[in-house]
Structure 1
Amino acid sequence: MQDKEALATTSTSTQMTHVLFLSGLIFLHLAGNVESRRAIRGMFVFGDSYADTGNHGHSAIAWQPPYGITYPRHPSGRHSDGRVLTDFVASFFNMSTPLPYNQRQGNPNLVHFGTNFASGGTGIFDTVPGLPNATAQIEQLQDLVKNGVYSATTLASSLVLFSFSGNDYGFYVQRKRTEAGLPGFVEMVIKQFRVDLERLYGMGLRQFAITNIGPLGCLPLYTAKSNYSSCNDTVNVLAVYHNSLLQEVVKVMRKSRANGSFVLLDYYSSALSIIQHKDQYGKLRNALKPCCMGACGMRDSAGKAMYSVCEQRGSAFFWDVVHPTQAAWQALMKPLTSSLHLFQT
């Protein structure tokens, strides 16, 4: 995730405030008809740093210590101390983690498990120059299909993990666009979201696991102002509004594409539950303060680390100011498992 700090400078518009009445809603886990489900044979991942497993170049921050300190004990391009969402979803289906798209050249045999196109910092629309947005990631898969890497049978038996966590909104505010236009921009994002899902469906993919965005106001970017003691409810309203519109898109896709399975992974409610009830999640007691404090992954001109790492990584929900720890992802999988079971025959 990138540029979400800019969101802290904006207040809630009247239109978005109305969705506060939806904040207590537990978003439904939505799946297609039973007869439309197929055994999962591979996985294609589209998204940002919550799902990226190494698509950035080796000069990127995710390739610098202390990233990867828990797994695989060295930097691997994951924006965490260890495994991320993609790893845990693949493991749930007893599959190897799909190979990052930019690492496919040296590992031709591993593409059979699928491909991970997710790239940290990206969004549904353009956010970071030179990095592929959702449309460009889909085009990367189209090129592989065109070149005969994947067959129609492979696509039909594979899972799409579609996980974009809100970079579009940070970029919107960073561009100093108007607060009044933010609700309309959310609607634009969701509209393109559906276009992207329809495009993947049109390619022959039939099984979709779609994450909503988390409680943005609980990111350490915002909790730092309260000494990591409370979330910013104003920023969370944006996430609730986005998620309410996304839920409607998933409902429509289920009705209009009966041959597909569309499951909504409710990251928002799952993360908020852990943060608000941390005592119920074992060692995961440090909910709002990042484990890696300071400029995580950076060093000064003398080579001295500009960060410090907590001793109990397994007790922290957040690794840095925006990314969960491996322990957090593992805890999040518990409530998400019931949704993923809908894909199993």
Structure 2
Amino acid sequence: MSIQVFLLSILLIYGTSLGGFGVEGSHRGHKHYHRKNKHHLHSKFGIKKLFVFGDSYADTGNVPEMWTDKPYGTTFPGKPDGRYSDGHIFTDFVAEYLGLESPMPYMLREYNKKKLHYGMNFAFGGAGAFQTLFPRPNISTQVGYFEELINNELYTTYDLEKSLALVTLSGNDYSAFIARGGNYADLLVTFIPEVVNELARNLKRISKLGVKRIAVGSLPPLGCVPFITKPGGYMKCDELDNLGSDQHNLLLTDAVAKLNNESLSTDFGMLNLDSTFLTIFNHSGYPKENLKLATPYKPCCEGVGNYSCGDVDKNGKAMYTVCQNPKSAFFWDRVHPTQAGWRSIVAILKPLLKEISKFS
């Protein structure tokens, strides 16, 4: 499969609800991430609030289509609730590790203002550094939302100084670039640097707004997602498709290092999703509570034929199958990890999160 076909298809997965468009639903039914012993929550490392920017890997409820898109939310809360998974995702487990509740999605901020105490999630599924093929707020617009709330005095200087920003983008810019007629050579040489530079510019904006700790997610190995590994029986990654991820991550690592050298007040840290995914796939070095996968690239929720997870036919019949135990799968659908997958990822990333979160 060509990289052009892959990147175009990946956009369609990241940027849509995979079936279930145009269904109206009330946001009042949204359930946030709570630990069973809520009163035991306590912030770690001096972090009091979490602010989140990015796309579907971090979005917990900002895209309305995902509120009604079955079978998403099967594991938690038992029905769709805005997350691109069967349950909890990256944001939720980072918040838990910090001793916080998962922050309120920006689009739901008027429905439960008490939850604003834990920060806010500005991530939108399908978003990018620039505008993708979908009407999602890009990273600059998301930071603009954050700045507007600060200007309206929703968050104080003290709040920002004791907060962590989590920023993660997962490739929507690149699929949009190819879909608009760009070629792979220009993507590697010209467009990837543009995306990284725009991301770095917005990281600097977040810093100037007063956030003292910023964690930046790398691009995952896109050649390992089930959409790519399916033709080979979900047996191995496509190394050619991983080249773009490697180039992005190399430039992003350099950009983050430069920001650290320039900044006297903010610490920037990389969360290496690429190496973390590969560690899990290779069954090596991850904590004992993590997954043990016979086929790490096979998703739990698969479409029938050309359909995708969540798709229905014209009669409303579900055109997908769901595995009996999502806990046994790393991927939920053709792109996104399961709740168990995300738990495994954050378990590996805890030392990096601890390092970037603690105050000297």
Is TM (by shorter chain) over 0.5? yes
Establish whether residue 307 from structure 1 lines up as the match of residue 316 from structure 2: no
- Give the TM-score normalised by structure 2: 0.83
Match of residue 138, structure 1, among 136, 139, 143:
143
Establish whether residue 51 from structure 1 lines up as the match of residue 63 from structure 2: no
Distance 1:197 1:4 in 2: 29
| Partner in structure 1 of residue 230 of structure 2 | 224
| Partner in structure 1 of residue 40 of structure 2 | none
| Partner in structure 1 of residue 294 of structure 2 | 285
Distance verdict in 2 for CA 1:170–1:241, change over 3 Å: same
One-letter code aligned to 1:212? S
| Partner in structure 2 of residue 21 of structure 1 | none
Match of residue 217, structure 2, among 211, 214, 228:
211
Establish whether residue 344 from structure 1 lines up as the match of residue 338 from structure 2: no
Q: State the Cα distance separating 1:41 from its structure 2 match.
A: 0.4
- Does the 8 Å CA contact 2:283/2:292 hold for their aligned counterparts? no
- Does the 8 Å CA contact 1:220/1:290 hold for their aligned counterparts? yes
Distance 1:5 1:41 in 2: 43
One-letter code aligned to 2:59? D
| Partner in structure 2 of residue 320 of structure 1 | 333
Q: State the Cα distance separating 1:76 from its structure 2 match.
A: 0.7
Number of matched pairs: 314
Gaps of 5+ in 1: 10-36
Distance 1:103 1:292 in 2: 28
| Partner in structure 1 of residue 49 of structure 2 | 42
In the TM superposition, 1:1-345 aligns within 5 A as 6-7=6-7, 39-57=46-64, 60-61=65-66, 63-183=68-188, 184-277=190-283, 281-294=290-303, 295-342=308-355, 343-345=357-359
Distance 1:284 1:159 in 2: 32
**3-state secondary structure, aligned to 1:311:** coil
- Does the 8 Å CA contact 1:210/1:263 hold for their aligned counterparts? yes
**3-state secondary structure, aligned to 1:131:** coil
Q: State the Cα distance separating 1:218 from its structure 2 match.
A: 0.3
Distance verdict in 2 for CA 1:130–1:74, change over 3 Å: same
Distance 1:84 1:195 in 2: 26
Q: State the Cα distance separating 1:180 from its structure 2 match.
A: 2.4
- Does the 8 Å CA contact 1:48/1:122 hold for their aligned counterparts? yes
**3-state secondary structure, aligned to 1:297:** coil
Identity %: 39
Distance 1:229 1:62 in 2: 33
**3-state secondary structure, aligned to 2:159:** helix
Distance verdict in 2 for CA 1:296–1:279, change over 3 Å: farther
Distance 1:276 1:172 in 2: 31
Which 4+ runs in 1 deviate beyond 6 A? none
- Does the 8 Å CA contact 1:50/1:163 hold for their aligned counterparts? yes
**3-state secondary structure, aligned to 2:53:** strand
Aligned-pair Cα RMSD in Å: 2.0
C-alpha distance after superposition, 1:238-267 (max 9, x if no partner)? 101100111101111111113211111000
Query: Whose relative contact order is higher, 1 or 2, with alpha carbons under 8 Å and at least 6 apart?
Result: 1
- Does the 8 Å CA contact 1:38/1:157 hold for their aligned counterparts? no
